[in-house]
């Protein structure tokens, strides 16, 4: 019977589910701590104990397993190197982001300083303009008084000859001249004092204007320096932004490399899982995939049933899916469809007519037991289960068949924790007391060979099979 194409990788999701969860998550954008601490937080590794069968049971080394382990070691080394490169790139980005932020702050400070310098220059220029106007006003007042003094001097010069010869006249003329001289002298003295009074405000205004010019020149120099500082800060900011962009691109490249190497590690880990599942268990004569199928079936069983009881059934029925030269693939499929003899009423068999139109057993006349756990098609129709979460209940898949076997054993409604309950359950599987004894004997040998495994698997917190 051809198997549905969509289920070929179904059991791989089950067998690698735990392992995939142990690989690193993406490196955080702002990695903290030393590189060693960061690497320890993200390095991919298997975590023993998550699944006692997949992670702890020793298997015999095969060339295939050895090659898979070498590929995994190489993939993990590649991912560790990619992790370090990504951490380094992220740290560089963080440092450059800090520098870019500092550069932005310096630009803001430089802009504020330039605005303040511009305002100070405007204030000083306004004050200088006021001082210039004051000087001009006082200078104009001084000029008026100086012009009056010059006019008086000119008038004195013009009348000087008459006054010189007036002494040759009478005494009365002399006295009049003397009086005129005294009046003129007094007028000049008064005007000279007026000039000096006008000169003092002008001198003060001139000195104030000179001092203000120096302050204005200083403010102009400060503004020029502030503008130069602003231009430098903007150049630094642009350079820091360019460097940050380079770091961002480097992080993108490193992240892509990390993702690729992480996927490579995931694939290599899945390959190692497959190689381990196909290998024989060191301590017991069965493959790891068969052991895991029984362990998984006990986890999903509707009652508490030891895994080794289910393993005993698988051993007695088809030697764990290896009858007729078959083997079990890592996803639980048998490479040969194991089909029993027709139940046509021959000696030692019941007569059971076809119940499935030959769909499962390729026999349209009589039913035959099918699959690694040897279910009749009619029984499978009632109890068939999807034990590996691929969406198909297939009697030729050991995960599915073992899960259905656990369900059949649990039909009595109670837990199967003692020999009496186990024997009663096995009678539902095969109405033969010797059959039950053989199953318990075989299962007991597996239990004794693998003492590290508890009889009852822990119920998983997250069930990838969805059951």
What per-residue confidence (pLDDT) applies to 30? 40
Q: 7: closest CA among 395, 290, 462, 317?
A: 395
Q: Model-level pTM greater than 0.75?
A: no
What digits encode the pLDDT tens for the residues 182-202? 766 777 888 888 889 889 999
If DSSP codes are grouped into helix, strand and coil, which group holds residue 453?
Answer: coil
Min mean pLDDT across 24-33, 73-82, 169-178, 426-435 is at 24-33
What is the Cα–Cα distance from 58 to 64, expressed in whole angstroms?
A: 15
What digits encode the pLDDT tens for the residues 65-106? 999 999 999 999 999 999 999 999 999 999 999 999 999 999
If DSSP codes are grouped into helix, strand and coil, which group holds residue 24?
Answer: coil
What per-residue confidence (pLDDT) applies to 194? 87
What digits encode the pLDDT tens for the residues 219-246? 999 999 999 999 999 999 999 999 999 9
**Residue 187 structure tokens:** 């007028």
What digits encode the pLDDT tens for the residues 334-393? 999 999 999 988 887 788 998 888 899 889 999 999 999 999 999 999 999 999 999 999
- Close Cβ partners of 158 (under 8 Å, ≥ 6 residues apart): none
What stretch of H or E contains 298?
Answer: helix 288-300
**Residue 445 structure tokens:** 């040998």
Highest mean predicted confidence (pLDDT) among 121-125, 161-165, 388-392: 121-125
Bridge partners of 328, per DSSP, are 334
């Amino acid at each position: 019977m051809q198997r549905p194409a969509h289920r070929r990788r179904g059991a791989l999701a089950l067998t690698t589910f735990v392992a995939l969860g142990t690989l690193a998550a993406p490196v955080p954008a702002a990695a903290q701590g030393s590189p060693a601490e960061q690497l320890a937080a993200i390095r991919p590794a298997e975590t023993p104990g998550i699944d006692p069968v997949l992670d702890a049971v020793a298997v015999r080394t095969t060339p295939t397993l050895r090659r898979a382990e070498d590929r995994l070691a190489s993939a993990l080394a590649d991912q560790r190197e990619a992790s370090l490169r990504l951490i380094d790139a992220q740290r560089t980005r963080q440092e450059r982001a800090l520098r870019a932020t500092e550069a932005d702050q310096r630009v803001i400070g430089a802009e504020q300083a330039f605005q303040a310098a511009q305002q100070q220059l405007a204030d000083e220029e306004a004050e200088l303009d006021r001082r210039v106007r004051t000087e001009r006003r006082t200078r104009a007042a001084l000029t008026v008084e100086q012009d009056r003094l010059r006019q008086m001097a000119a008038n004195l010069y013009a009348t000087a000859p008459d006054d010189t010869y007036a002494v040759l006249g009478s005494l009365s003329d002399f006295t009049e001249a003397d009086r005129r001289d005294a009046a003129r002298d007094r007028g000049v003295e008064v005007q000279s004092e007026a000039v000096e009074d006008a000169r003092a405000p002008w001198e003060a205004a001139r000195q104030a204007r000179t001092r203000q010019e120096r302050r204005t020149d200083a403010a102009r120099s400060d503004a020029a320096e502030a503008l130069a500082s602003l231009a430098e800060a903007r150049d630094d900011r642009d350079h820091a932004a360019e460097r940050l962009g380079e770091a961002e691109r480097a992080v993108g490249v490193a992240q892509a490399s990390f993702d690729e190497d992480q996927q490579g590690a995931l694939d290599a880990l899945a390959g190692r899982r497959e190689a381990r599942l196909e290998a024989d268990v060191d301590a017991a004569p069965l493959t790891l995939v068969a052991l895991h199928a029984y362990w998984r079936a006990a986890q999903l069983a509707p009652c508490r049933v030891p895994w080794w009881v289910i393993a005993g059934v698988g051993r007695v029925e088809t030697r764990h899916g290896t009858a007729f030269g078959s083997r079990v693939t890592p996803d639980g499929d048998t490479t040969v469809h194991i089909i029993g003899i027709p139940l046509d009423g021959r000696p030692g068999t019941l007569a059971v007519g076809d119940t499935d139109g030959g769909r499962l057993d390729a026999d349209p006349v009589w039913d035959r037991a099918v699959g690694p756990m040897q279910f009749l098609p009619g029984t499978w129709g009632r109890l068939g289960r999807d034990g590996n979460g691929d969406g198909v209940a297939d009697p030729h898949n050991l995960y599915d068949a073992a899960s259905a076997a656990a369900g059949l054993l649990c039909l009595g409604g109670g837990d199967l924790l003692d020999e009496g309950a186990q024997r009663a359950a096995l009678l539902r599987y095969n109405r033969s007391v010797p059959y039950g004894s053989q199953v318990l004997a075989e299962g007991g040998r597996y239990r004794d060979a693998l003492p590290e495994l508890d009889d009852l698997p822990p119920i998983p917190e997250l069930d990838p099979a969805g059951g």
